[in-house]
Amino acid sequence: MTEKGPAWDGFINFLKPPGMTSHDAVSCVRRVLGLKKAGHAGTLDPGAAGVLPVAVGRATRLLEYVGGARKTYRAELCFGIETDSGDDLGEIVAQSEAPMPDEAAVASAVQAMTGRIEQTPPVYSAVKVGGRRACDLARKNEAVEIPARQVEIYRLEVLERRAEERTLLIDVECSKGTYIRSLCRDLGRLTGALATMRFLVRSRVGDFAIEEAHTPEELQELGEAAVESPEKYLGNLARYELPEARRKAFLHGLPTRIDEILEAEKPLAVFSNSAFLGVGRFDKGTSSLVTEKVYERSE
């Protein structure tokens, strides 16, 4: 197989199994399709499973817009322990003999953790500290201080509470940069019982849904048929239809003055005659649509 033709430019909705790293998932795509140019958006921990958006060919330049979309997870947290990694694969650093939190305590913690919150990522994470990954520093027993960051929890729902097992099953819809391991840890602290994440499945990244995701085995069978047009997965961007007369101008990076007043600096999925051209933005100072990323090849 070669890297020629539009069939090799687009997104793959990849279903990453537990035990595979996100890098391994991209390597799997490259191997199956015989491609070199591929990348992923929104890293999943090796122990987690679920949706991993993978781009191939020219679509790799659009990954930043996919990675910024809302994400949905299903997780189980276990009360009574806290680990250095935030999940049950780490070393226990604290234990609590407190009883299983009752429904009122859980509801109060859930309410406090919903909306815009401050969150500190786990030490064992890919967050950069002084230009180096926190997890690499931690594995060398070097001191790591990760600053808190603001994230948005749009929805946090308790699906099941198992008192005998001291566990909660939760669904989370959140912004880019949210660590579910940290969310589970903080929920435990709020209830006074401590907690760590036991399993994690990512069910959605923007328009990438787990119901339509392909396992490695399915990808092997589908081949290039698994590669879909990028516009299918850019629903998180506002759409702008550019007149055909300005199509070439956009593709060559030339601005187009427009009469509409659009939200400044927000990325726009730009189309012309329903064909996806790339991503642009509205420049308020010049009242123009300017090119940010070109997808369709220039003529």
Which residues are known catalytic residues?
45
Contact 284, 290 (CB under 8 A): no
Residue with tokens 């099953």: 169
Residue with tokens 């099941």: 160
Taking the C-alpha atoms of residue 186 and residue 183, their distance in angstroms, rounded to an integer, is 5
Q: For the purposes of burial, counting CB atoms within 10 Å of the CB of 47, is it exposed (0-12), middle (13-18) or buried (19 or more)?
A: middle
Tokens of 105: 């305590």
Tokens of 164: 């005998």
Sheet strands (E) in 96-175: 115-119, 128-129, 132-133, 149-162, 167-174
Taking the C-alpha atoms of residue 85 and residue 134, their distance in angstroms, rounded to an integer, is 11
